Amino acid sequence: MFIKSRNYDKCIQKVRIEVGTLVGLEKDDEAYIELREIPTLEMMELKEAYEKGEKALMEFFKDLLPLIITDHNFYETEQKKMDGKAVATLVFESLDLTQKVIGAYTNASFFTRAQKSGERSLPSAQKSSMEDTAPSSSGNTVAG
Protein backbone atom coordinates (compact mmCIF):
# COMPACT_ATOMS: atom_id res chain seq x y z
CA MET A 1 0.00 0.00 0.00
CA PHE A 2 1.32 3.45 -0.95
CA ILE A 3 0.98 6.01 1.83
CA LYS A 4 2.00 9.46 0.66
CA SER A 5 3.21 10.67 4.04
CA ARG A 6 5.61 7.71 4.28
CA ASN A 7 6.44 6.79 0.69
CA TYR A 8 6.44 10.01 -1.35
CA ASP A 9 10.13 10.73 -0.83
CA LYS A 10 10.96 7.20 -1.99
CA CYS A 11 8.89 7.70 -5.15
CA ILE A 12 10.26 11.11 -6.15
CA GLN A 13 14.01 11.17 -6.72
CA LYS A 14 16.28 13.99 -5.65
CA VAL A 15 19.76 15.15 -6.50
CA ARG A 16 22.11 17.02 -4.18
CA ILE A 17 24.40 19.46 -5.96
CA GLU A 18 27.41 20.71 -4.03
CA VAL A 19 28.43 24.24 -5.00
CA GLY A 20 30.58 25.59 -2.16
CA THR A 21 33.55 26.72 -4.24
CA LEU A 22 31.24 28.49 -6.70
CA VAL A 23 29.80 30.63 -3.91
CA GLY A 24 33.14 31.59 -2.38
CA LEU A 25 33.64 28.80 0.14
CA GLU A 26 36.74 26.61 0.42
CA LYS A 27 35.17 23.24 -0.44
CA ASP A 28 32.22 22.21 -2.61
CA ASP A 29 30.55 20.24 0.19
CA GLU A 30 30.19 23.40 2.31
CA ALA A 31 27.16 24.56 0.28
CA TYR A 32 24.54 22.48 -1.46
CA ILE A 33 21.20 22.64 -3.20
CA GLU A 34 18.90 19.62 -3.32
CA LEU A 35 16.43 19.42 -6.21
CA ARG A 36 13.61 16.97 -6.81
CA GLU A 37 12.67 15.43 -10.12
CA ILE A 38 10.12 17.42 -12.07
CA PRO A 39 6.58 16.23 -12.73
CA THR A 40 5.71 14.65 -16.06
CA LEU A 41 4.11 17.72 -17.67
CA GLU A 42 7.08 19.88 -16.75
CA MET A 43 9.36 17.20 -18.19
CA MET A 44 7.53 17.59 -21.50
CA GLU A 45 7.88 21.38 -21.25
CA LEU A 46 11.59 20.89 -20.61
CA LYS A 47 11.91 18.97 -23.85
CA GLU A 48 10.09 21.73 -25.73
CA ALA A 49 12.31 24.39 -24.15
CA TYR A 50 15.43 22.43 -25.10
CA GLU A 51 14.25 22.16 -28.70
CA LYS A 52 13.70 25.95 -28.83
CA GLY A 53 17.28 26.66 -27.76
CA GLU A 54 19.44 27.54 -24.81
CA LYS A 55 17.66 30.83 -24.00
CA ALA A 56 14.30 29.06 -23.73
CA LEU A 57 15.93 26.36 -21.61
CA MET A 58 17.37 28.95 -19.21
CA GLU A 59 14.00 30.73 -18.96
CA PHE A 60 12.32 27.40 -18.23
CA PHE A 61 14.75 26.63 -15.42
CA LYS A 62 14.60 30.16 -14.03
CA ASP A 63 10.85 29.71 -13.48
CA LEU A 64 11.09 26.07 -12.38
CA LEU A 65 14.10 26.14 -10.05
CA PRO A 66 12.38 27.75 -7.03
CA LEU A 67 9.66 25.09 -7.21
CA ILE A 68 11.96 22.05 -7.22
CA ILE A 69 14.38 23.07 -4.46
CA THR A 70 13.71 20.68 -1.58
CA ASP A 71 16.64 21.58 0.64
CA HIS A 72 19.73 23.82 0.75
CA ASN A 73 22.05 25.46 3.22
CA PHE A 74 21.94 29.06 1.97
CA TYR A 75 21.21 31.71 4.59
CA GLU A 76 20.56 35.45 4.44
CA THR A 77 21.85 35.81 8.00
CA GLU A 78 23.17 33.24 10.44
CA GLN A 79 19.62 32.58 11.61
CA LYS A 80 17.46 33.25 8.52
CA LYS A 81 17.43 30.64 5.76
CA MET A 82 16.88 31.89 2.21
CA ASP A 83 13.69 30.79 0.50
CA GLY A 84 13.71 28.82 -2.77
CA LYS A 85 13.13 31.91 -4.89
CA ALA A 86 16.10 33.74 -3.35
CA VAL A 87 18.35 30.70 -3.87
CA ALA A 88 17.22 30.41 -7.50
CA THR A 89 17.91 34.12 -8.04
CA LEU A 90 21.40 33.68 -6.61
CA VAL A 91 22.03 30.67 -8.85
CA PHE A 92 21.13 32.69 -11.93
CA GLU A 93 23.39 35.60 -10.95
CA SER A 94 26.49 33.50 -11.72
CA LEU A 95 27.03 31.77 -15.05
CA ASP A 96 29.30 29.12 -13.49
CA LEU A 97 26.79 28.42 -10.73
CA THR A 98 23.91 28.25 -13.22
CA GLN A 99 25.83 25.83 -15.42
CA LYS A 100 26.81 23.62 -12.48
CA VAL A 101 23.29 23.40 -11.06
CA ILE A 102 21.47 22.87 -14.35
CA GLY A 103 24.18 20.59 -15.73
CA ALA A 104 24.27 18.37 -12.65
CA TYR A 105 20.48 18.35 -12.48
CA THR A 106 20.00 17.32 -16.10
CA ASN A 107 22.64 14.60 -15.68
CA ALA A 108 20.81 13.15 -12.67
CA SER A 109 19.70 9.55 -12.69
CA PHE A 110 15.99 10.32 -12.98
CA PHE A 111 16.52 11.59 -16.52
CA THR A 112 17.94 8.21 -17.55
CA ARG A 113 15.68 5.95 -15.48
CA ALA A 114 13.04 5.62 -18.23
CA GLN A 115 15.72 4.85 -20.84
CA LYS A 116 17.04 1.96 -18.77
CA SER A 117 13.58 0.43 -18.44
CA GLY A 118 12.95 0.67 -22.19
CA GLU A 119 10.37 3.44 -21.98
CA ARG A 120 10.47 6.69 -23.89
CA SER A 121 12.65 9.18 -22.10
CA LEU A 122 13.84 12.73 -22.44
CA PRO A 123 17.18 12.36 -24.20
CA SER A 124 17.44 16.09 -24.80
CA ALA A 125 17.92 16.74 -21.10
CA GLN A 126 21.25 14.94 -21.22
CA LYS A 127 22.42 16.76 -24.34
CA SER A 128 22.49 20.21 -22.82
CA SER A 129 25.38 22.30 -24.07
CA MET A 130 26.27 22.80 -20.41
CA GLU A 131 26.85 19.10 -19.80
CA ASP A 132 30.54 19.27 -20.63
CA THR A 133 31.17 22.32 -18.46
CA ALA A 134 29.18 21.21 -15.44
CA PRO A 135 29.99 17.66 -14.38
CA SER A 136 27.67 15.86 -12.01
CA SER A 137 28.41 16.55 -8.39
CA SER A 138 30.34 13.41 -7.49
CA GLY A 139 27.44 11.04 -7.88
CA ASN A 140 25.39 12.52 -5.07
CA THR A 141 22.03 11.39 -6.37
CA VAL A 142 19.66 10.70 -3.50
CA ALA A 143 16.62 8.52 -4.03
CA GLY A 144 14.59 9.35 -1.01
The C-alpha atoms of residue 53 and residue 63 are separated, in whole angstroms, by 16
First to last CA, the chain: 17
Please tell me the predicted confidence (pLDDT) of residue 111.
Answer: 62
Half-sphere exposure of 128 (CA within 13 A, CB side): 32
Q: Where does the chain show beta strands of DSSP type E?
A: 14-18, 32-36, 69-72, 141-142
pLDDT for the residue 112: 54
User: How many percent of the chain have pLDDT more than 70?
Assistant: 73
- The full set of domain ranges for the chain reads 12-142
pTM to 2 decimals? Answer: 0.72
pLDDT tens readout for residues 15-69? 999 999 999 999 999 999 999 988 888 888 988 988 999 899 899 999 999 999 9
CA gap 61, 65 in Å, rounded: 5
